[in-house]
Chains A and B, each alone.
Chain A
Amino acid sequence: MSQEPLAATHLPLSRWGISRRQLEGRIRRRRWADRIIRGLMVASVVVVLIPLFSLLIYVGRSGIQGLDLAFFTQLPKPVGMPGGGMANAIVGSLILVGLAAAIGVPVGVMAGVFLARSTSRLADGVRFVAQVLNGVPSIVVGLAVYGLMVVPMQTYSAWAGGVALALIMIPLVTLNTEEMVRLVPRDLNEAALALGVPAWLATLRVVVRTALPGILTGIMLALARVAGETAPLLFTALNNAFWHQGLSNPIASLPVTIYNYAISPYPEWHQKAWTGALVLVAMVLITNVLARFFGRSRYDRR
């Protein structure tokens, strides 16, 4: 901050009814207020960044020791045997997140577009349900899917895990899509209609197309969020020590495997849990970075 000379003499101070000294006093107070507020904001940023970086550094330092090729290619070994990896859990997580996306993305995007374009009471109802679903604790989602799918099917399964994760994704994607579609100016829709484009095409190829980067970003962030969920998988996908055996059987996932290893009494398993955590954090971070990338539109200038 450069210090400009206080209170220029050419100002018509008498008209404002204050003396030069009073004006200088005010300006000095404002400069101090400015410094204090700036200081508080920088401090807040540091407070936000400290947990993030300490977490990343701690997970990185603890996890990197167990990181080798085997971790990505081998199945877990029994306690006491050296080596082994979490390849099945990594593949399992990808399958579960893929299932969740296959169910959650179409439902969420279509519901979101509907909410943004409709003024009906049905839309109000759907929006309310989405907001409630968004607030449901993830463990409750897991229990509900346990009752709805695991009990009737008489087995834990990848399907149940995928549905549980989809139920968490749907409100996130729906509400974000609605927001993004609403951000598109009405003028664009009208301009397309005025060209003689039918309403559904104008919605799809102009309005949704314009909102697409934001919609994709929301999808990626929702994927990153469910990739790290543990609670909804505990009673649905369960876990599995082997490669996946079809979608109707229990399947391993990174969060649940990390959980099991972390609560075990064996130090070498704790090491594996840290490495698993590092891999999971890396996957989520990469997804987030990809989301930012998709969020840039074709014509964004730097």
Chain B
Amino acid sequence: MAVPIRVEHLNAAFGPFQALHDVTLTLPARQVTAIIGPSGCGKSTFVRCINRMHEETPGGRVWGQIYLGDEPVYGPDVDPVVIRRRVGMVFQRPTPFPTMSILENVVAGYTLLPGRPRDLESLAERSLRQAGLWDEVKDRLRDSPLNLSGGQQQRLCIARALAVEPEVILLDEPCSSLDPISTAKVEETIMELAQRYTVVLVTHNIQQATRVSQHTAFFLLGRLIEFGPTEQLFTNPANEQTEAYITGRFG
């Protein structure tokens, strides 16, 4: 099921601007790896390379290689659609599909594809339970997701990503538009996910990284500056720039 993500000499660019320079690291399976760094340092670009979303951005180019377990993510024979089934993603702003009900949103990964899917109701329940949202929405599964709070919408998006049974979950600043209580609930969900999935969490919030992650990678100006166990990186950083960032001297 959950696999480590091996990133080797990854580079990414938007047109002439190179956003990532030669990133190499391995994100361990069944753990939360936090990606931190100031705005514009390439954190989002990095996770968007893992599920091949970066190339959907106009002008987006990627070179280098990423492996899910032993299988390459980039290559002439690799279908990005297959990669995205294996690598789920949750975005900064909640993105429920407004034309669908809560239930339809959760199983959208199946109903948007041709063919008659299997038992969707129980699949939806399982995914919503995993995302910690079931008790809050079980009586209004046919309602619009737009009536949910921001935090509930975000957990709905997590449930939707889990429903397709991925191996990896990418979370791109999932709490940046949420209030503290919703943030706490989403964080709780993230920690539970790490028991089954490889979780990559981009965050602006250093405290969040220390709360939920086992490993942390610090990015600056498109380069990986330091990567290691979260506790070590925050208590005894090897690099001056890391120290400057986590002690709040910039960013």
- A interface list, Cβ under 8 A from B: 119, 185, 187-188, 190-198, 201-202, 205-206, 209-210, 212, 297-299
Contacts and interface: CB of A to CB of B under 8 A. Distances in A.
11 contacts: A119-B58, A188-B98, A192-B97, A193-B53, A194-B84, A194-B161, A195-B88, A195-B108, A196-B81, A201-B112, A206-B99
Interface residues of B, number: 29
Contacts of B99: 206, 209-210, 212, 297-298
B91 interface: yes
B109 A195 contact: yes
B112 A192 contact: yes
Q: Chain A: interface secondary structure?
A: helix
Interface of B: 51, 53, 56, 58, 81-86, 88-89, 91, 93, 95, 97-99, 108-109, 112-114, 144, 146, 157, 160-161, 164
Contacts of A188: 95, 97-98
Contacts of B98: 188, 210, 297, 299
B61 to A, nearest CB: 16
Contacts of B144: 298-299
A208 B114 CA distance: 17
Contact of B157 (A191, A193, A197, A198): A191
B91 A187 contact: yes
A187 B84 CA distance: 16
Nearest to B98: A210
A213 to B, nearest CB: 9
A206 B109 contact: no
A239 B95 CA distance: 54
Contacts of A187: 91, 93, 95
B85 A196 contact: yes
A185 B98 CA distance: 11
A298 B144 CA distance: 9
